[in-house]
Amino acid sequence: MRGKVSLVTGAGSGIGRATALALAENGATIVIADMDFAAAEETAALITAASSDPDTGAAHTAPLALSCDVTRPAEVARVFAAIDDNFGGLDYAVNNAGICTEVGPISDYSLSSFRTMMSVNVMGVFTCLQHEVSAMRRRGGGAIVNLSSIFGQVSGPGYSAYTVTKHAVEGLTKSVALENAEHGIRVNCVRPSVVQTPLMTGKHVNAAPGSKEWSAYENANPTKRNAQPEEIAAAIVWQLSDEASFVSGGGINLDGAYLAR
């Protein structure tokens, strides 16, 4: 992956940050796009620190941290202009920025929350895909991974809006893979179950480790545990890599056998 220009949206936290670090460890050149610019810069600093470690570091091009709200098309366009200006093209993209701002029964669910989740998790991915595909066609190929979820396949009580968004991500993965297969662009997704990140442990889902909500998620998993972001990042790196050269239009379940029942 040495020198492969790799965009990770939402890489200021959780799975996105772990993915950016894992790609950098493999020699890729990282572009971090997050609406939380301070968090994006923190990820860039972590990559720089890891790459300069004399024992483990792989010298590579410095990461680029950018402020971008994926729901704002003009900000997304600026990210791709910056990628062209700085690196002259794009090889890999991870459409990771995503939110879950409300969990609750559909009858009480706020429409504004539903709109916000559609706007980040679906429109944001759609807008990024438009630019990624154009950039990769100019490059002569590339690979893209979208963040789906087990809720891209099934659902759970309280998760109607999130489920809609992740089912949409699965549909986008298939259609964009088909449209671009002949252009050497592979498009896949990953389907994590519960991962220990601020999305799960923060105020909206409110399942911090040690809480009864966290234990309930652990107990609902056949492995009786939840995942760490690095376990998701490893699969994303593989999907992007040449090792997965004939893998497109599908997804990997990263769920401790949750979907096998």
96 touches ligand NAD by CB under 6 A:
yes
For ligand NAD, how many residues bind (rule: CB under 6 A)? 30
Q: How many CB atoms lie within 10 A of CB 31?
A: 28
16 touches ligand NAD by CB under 6 A:
yes
Residue of 92, 162, 217, 258 marked catalytic: 162
162 is catalytic: yes
- DSSP-assigned letter for residue 119: I
Q: Which residues contact 143 (CB under 8 A, 6 or more apart)?
A: 91, 92, 93, 185, 186, 187, 188, 239, 240, 241, 244
27 touches ligand NAD by CB under 6 A:
no
Residues 104-123 that bind ligand NAD (CB under 6 A): 120
Using the minimum distance from each CB to ligand NAD, give the nearer residue, 149 or 163: 149
List, as own/partner pairs, every contact residues 173-176 make where C-beta atoms lie below 8 angstroms and the sequence separation is at least 24, other chains included: 173/146, 173/148, 173/249, 173/250, 173/251, 174/249, 176/129, 176/133, 176/144
Among the listed residues 67, 68, 29, the one whose alpha carbon sits nearest the alpha carbon of residue 47? 29
Using the minimum distance from each CB to ligand NAD, give the nearer residue, 15 or 185: 15
Q: Which of 8, 143, 194, 233 binds ligand NAD (CB under 6 A)?
A: 194
Query: Interacting stretch for ligand NAD, rule CB under 6 A, among 46-54, 69-77, 80-88, 133-141?
Result: 69-77
Q: How far is the CB of 103 from ligand NAD (least distance, A)?
A: 12
Q: Would you say the C-alpha torsion 132, 99, 32, 8 has a positive or negative sign?
A: negative
63 touches ligand NAD by CB under 6 A:
no
161 touches ligand NAD by CB under 6 A:
no
Catalytic sites, residue numbers: 162
